[in-house]
Chain A
Amino acid sequence: MSTTTTTSGSGTPAGNAPARSGKPGVSELVSWKAGIGLSLLAILGTVLFGFMSNSKSAGFGIAEAANEAASNVAAWVTLVLALLLSAWLGYLWFVRRRSGLASGSGQVPGWLPAATVAAVVVLGLAALGVAKVVRITVPSAAIGWICAVVLLGLAGYTVYLTQAKRTIPRWVGGTFAALFLIGFMVWIVAHGNDAEPSISLAGLIAGSVTLAVPLVFGSLSGVLCERVGVVNIAIEGQLLLGAFSAAVVATVTHNVYAGLVAAAVAGALVSLVLAVVSIKYLVNQIIVGVVLNVLISGLTSFLFSTLLTADPEGLNKPGRLPPVDIPFLSDIPIIGPILFHQSLVGYLMYIAVIVVYLGLFHTKWGLRVRAVGEHPQAADTVGINVNRTRFWNVLMGGAIAGIGGSFFTLVSVDAFSKDMSGGRGYIALAALIFGRWNPIGAFLAALLFGFADNLQSVITIIGSPVPSQFMAMLPYALTVFAVAGLVGRSRPPAASGIPYVKG
């Protein structure tokens, strides 16, 4: 769905012009993907949030603090810090933008707007905490119509820009997504069974983060493997074997931490097979991955139905990793319970995201890893051992996915059951693509999928006009959209999936 347009061929073929000479000779294949996609969504939104709205209100509960006094102090401190931070970031953004416009070259770094928005959101939440708001109730029809109109406007603006062959600014997509989400939430909550239906917003988000944990670990594993040039389809198997090993080892040793370590080892073992077969024996990486998934699913199911069901007390009663509160931080209203009331695995997730990000993009190791994934031959000619780098990275990826698997049996449910990873390894793969092979991107994408997953169960509880089967499709539908690239072009590491043979 793209048309070719030819623009100005008027410039003379001047000699030795710099490569980035700008517009002439470079032009766009105008894509109508965004315009049509947003228009369809806007129409859907108008029908649902506008015409199908009802007269009820929608309530969104906000977590109540466990410790009133501490919470109050924390809220004030956060408010002040967030205020300062957002003011400073906003100022920085403004200055950079202005100097960028003046010099015509300097760009605002990509993280700046994102960080500013995040700081403002934190500020808003802290303000709610300070004001001791417990519940926000909104009239659904009014909000629905407002959202619908703005959505239509944004879609129209996108179509107009596409028509005029101008680039669509990034904020359009973000704002559209946020408004659609708000409209959808209000609409679906207002259709609950109660007279004044409401859901707990904090609970919804906290649950999303929790559900996202295995996805984040899985997609980090994918990032580590694909960045080094190996496609890791076996994430599903790594999660599953991690879950299984964590359950059994933790039960046998009566030590959940031993279970955690066992999960990492199990994931690495799956990776070991993948690495040896695909790197050394050059078997197609995708086939090996799929076969591993089937194998592990079969193996764990067999062991579960023979050994584990025969002796659940002795083999499948691992106990749990308890949630740990981080002092002070966990007292911040709303944010605290969401981010700082996690199990050890949850905190490991934050650490892993940061470490993988810094490692990949700011260290010698990461430079070499990315080089191997982009152009292995070039890496080889500067003395980097390509296959060794790949081998260790795949192994490390497996260990990380394994830890993610332990979440199922040590945090979520305290027993292993058949195929309990339920396809999350594949969703993690989608999160990796959605997140553009970047650890932070993958983390955010995984959070989004976790949110869709949790929303589905929350909505089913309060009752909704949409059949629950449809709601259950939500995460997967979102995956299809994400991977189809509604969010723009993404560029995988060039050598991903291609075995390296020297010479």
Chain B
Amino acid sequence: MKLELKGITKRFGSLVANDHIDLVVEPGQVHCLLGENGAGKSTLMNVLYGLYDPSDGEILVDGKPVVFKGPGDAMAAGIGMVHQHFMLIPVFTVAENVALGNEATKAAGFLNLDETRRKISEISKQYGFHVDPDALVEDLPVGVQQRVEIIKALVRDAEVLILDEPTAVLTPQETDELLDIIRQLKAAGKSIVFISHKLREVKEISDIITVIRRGKVVGSADPSASPTELASAMVGRAVSLTLEKKPAQPGEATFKVRDLTVVDHNGQHVVDGLSFDIAKGEVLAIAGVQGNGQTELTEAILGVQPHVTGSITLDGVELLGKSVKQVLSAGVGFVPEDRKIDGLVGTFSISENMILDLYDKPPFAQGIGMKPALIATHAEKKVAEFDVRTPSIDVAVGTLSGGNQQKVVLARELSRPLRLFIASQPTRGLDVGSIEFVHKRVIAERDNGTPVMIVSTELDEVLELADRIAVLYRGRLVGIVPAGTSRDVLGLMMAGVPEHEAELTAHKTLEGGTNV
């Protein structure tokens, strides 16, 4: 099946998310859409999948124009989509999820789940998926959940499969497995639209690459193009992909975590017996696939998790059991993983957001009153220092771009004298320029002699910033390794393989020559 998009435009109010995009997907081809976060890739795919109506332009299937009123129409036309956030119902079984919307029924609308189970095992056999049709989806690892999503599309006879940032939640090994699956699907004659901003995967899997920037197609590239070339095309200017930094000069270990365990409301040990130290002037990066306890770890340090046992000490003072306010005034700077939810109050102005944690302390407050003039000068100063691009300090922070929002959070957290700096996903969703700035700031804080903890699910970021790398898997520490550790070893560790075993395995694959 040949799929064509002609002049697709999608506007949200005054914002043009897609601007006259043309795209041709040939049968049996892996077509990559490369672009930064917010470039309009997902919007385009949602238009194609019938979730959004295009403001302009048309979609052609095998040369005939079609109009999709909803995802149902798109699926009927043979288009399947695996969303970035899986569209699975956690309390349903695999079979129920696959059946949903495409139910096999007996008389009077009664479900025929046996028929669905049979189809699932048929597809599982064909592509080598190991999926139990009767397992509850919430019990499955993300990699398997993703296969369920693929099965959902295949059961509906999808000819074109859209994968939206499919590797964001996968370990490097799971990513390799996914790429294998994509190759098989391609061999079976399916077309794949692969959306990503990760250059490595894109280069590895695609037949053709279309680069999108600010809602426009800026050109196509060959998979053999160099990463720097692709990155430049994606960002629109020359970029350097490496950060210059001096070697770390670690001092005394002032931040210590011992036997830290966090139990969630289901009784699951989301953080399980963690112990580690961070020295002054060193960056410890916490690596791991999303959802392996990183969020709970940082929240436990900040003091917003119930059911925490163990010990967290900073300069010999126990932080566990203290209120968030006490933890912050002990000198902890905290950049939360989601700036929109935990980092900022979107409707407050920049100057107000700059003092969210200091509003009641001198010099910004006196008694019950606040000092607006002082708060304003403080904000002006920080906006200049952190290069926040904004028309004014009175602008609501929610209207800024992601990069500028993150700069506001950093400016606030770094404007106090710190004894520990924690940044969770500090560059998620930022453009390359802002990433560079944030990284420099983090390293500057390290060089001031602050212990720094970076939590990141991006291996590139971990490798770039870390002086030591701690790998988390299912809430447990797999190991702490030095900065120069290879990507393969880290990847295996992120899947729970212990350090020495990971090194052996990675070594073997290298010798075998099968490593890509």
Contact = CB atoms under 8 A, between A and B. Distances in A.
Chain B binds chain A: yes
Interface of A: 4, 6, 9, 12-17, 19-20, 25-29, 358, 362-365, 367-368, 370-371, 374-375, 377-385, 491, 494, 502-503
B52 interface: yes
7 contacts: A26-B268, A29-B267, A29-B307, A362-B110, A374-B90, A380-B71, A503-B51
A29 B92 CA distance: 25
Interface in B65-111: 70-73, 75, 81, 83, 87-92, 96, 99-103, 105, 108-111
Given A13-B478, A14-B496, A381-B83, A6 B309 contact: yes
Given A15-B495, A25-B474, A371-B92, A364 B87 contact: no
Contacts of A370: 89, 92
B272 A363 contact: no
Q: Which 7 residue pairs across A and B have the least CB separation, nearest first?
A: A383-B72, A382-B101, A378-B87, A364-B103, A15-B496, A9-B273, A15-B497
A50 B152 CA distance: 62
A363 B110 CA distance: 4
Interface in B293-337: 307-309
Nearest to B12: A503
B218 interface: no
Given A368-B100, A381-B81, A363 B108 contact: yes
A374 B89 contact: yes
Contacts of B72: 382-383
B353 interface: no
B11 to A, nearest CB: 13
Contacts of A374: 89-92
Contacts of A20: 139
A12 B498 contact: yes
A383 B103 CA distance: 12
Contact of A27 (B70, B81, B269): B269
A382 B71 contact: yes
Interface in B476-516: 476, 478, 492, 495-498
B178 to A, nearest CB: 15
B87 A377 contact: yes
B473 interface: yes
Given A14-B496, A379-B101, A385-B70, A25 B272 contact: yes
Contacts of B263: 4, 6, 27, 29
B140 interface: yes
Q: Which of A14, A371, A494, A503 has the most CB of B within 10 A?
A: A371
B111 A367 contact: yes
Contacts of A19: 139-141
Interface of B: 46, 49, 51-52, 70-73, 75, 81, 83, 87-92, 96, 99-103, 105, 108-111, 139-141, 152, 261, 263, 265, 267-269, 272-273, 307-309, 473-476, 478, 492, 495-498
A382 B79 CA distance: 11
Contacts of B87: 375, 377-378, 381-382
A362 B269 contact: no
A26 B269 contact: yes
A134 to B, nearest CB: 46
A13 B111 contact: no
A362 to B, nearest CB: 6
A503 B473 CA distance: 33
A446 to B, nearest CB: 24
Given A13-B473, A503-B51, A371 B269 contact: no
A380 B74 CA distance: 12
B100 A382 contact: yes
A385 B69 CA distance: 11
Given A4-B307, A15-B495, A378-B88, A365 B109 contact: yes
Given A13-B496, A26-B269, 15 more contacts: A12-B498, A13-B473, A25-B269, A29-B265, A358-B110, A362-B110, A362-B111, A363-B105, A363-B110, A381-B83, A382-B100, A383-B71, A383-B75, A383-B101, A502-B51
A367 B273 contact: no
Given A4-B309, A15-B497, A367 B103 contact: yes
Nearest to A495: B89
Contacts of A379: 89, 100-101
Contacts of A6: 261, 263, 269, 309
Nearest to A17: B496
Contacts of A383: 70-73, 75, 101
A430 to B, nearest CB: 23
A379 B83 CA distance: 13
Contacts of B100: 367-368, 371, 378-379, 382, 384
A382 B102 contact: yes
Given A27-B267, A27-B269, A384 B108 contact: no
Contacts of A26: 267-269
B260 to A, nearest CB: 11
A494 B110 CA distance: 24
B111 A16 contact: no
B378 to A, nearest CB: 38
A460 B295 CA distance: 58
A150 B267 CA distance: 31
A40 to B, nearest CB: 25
A299 B473 CA distance: 61
Contacts of A384: 100-101
A110 to B, nearest CB: 15
Nearest to A28: B267
A381 B50 CA distance: 9
A451 to B, nearest CB: 31
Nearest to B502: A15
A6 B270 CA distance: 12
Contacts of B473: 13
Contacts of A363: 105, 108-111
A378 B100 CA distance: 9
A14 B496 CA distance: 6
Contacts of B102: 382
A25 B71 contact: no
Nearest to B86: A378
Contacts of B309: 4, 6
Contacts of A371: 89, 92, 100
Contact of B71 (A4, A15, A381, A494): A381
Contacts of B492: 15
Nearest to A9: B273
A304 B398 CA distance: 53
Contacts of A381: 49, 51, 71, 81, 83, 87
Q: Which of A363, A371, A383 has the most CB of B within 10 A?
A: A383
Given A25-B268, A371-B89, A382-B100, A13 B71 contact: no
A204 B153 CA distance: 56
Contacts of B109: 363-365
A244 to B, nearest CB: 35
A174 B108 CA distance: 37
B497 A375 contact: no
Contacts of B83: 381
Nearest to A381: B87
A16 B501 CA distance: 14
A19 B141 CA distance: 6
A378 B92 CA distance: 12
Contacts of A502: 51
A14 B493 CA distance: 10
Contacts of A15: 492, 495-497
Nearest to B88: A378
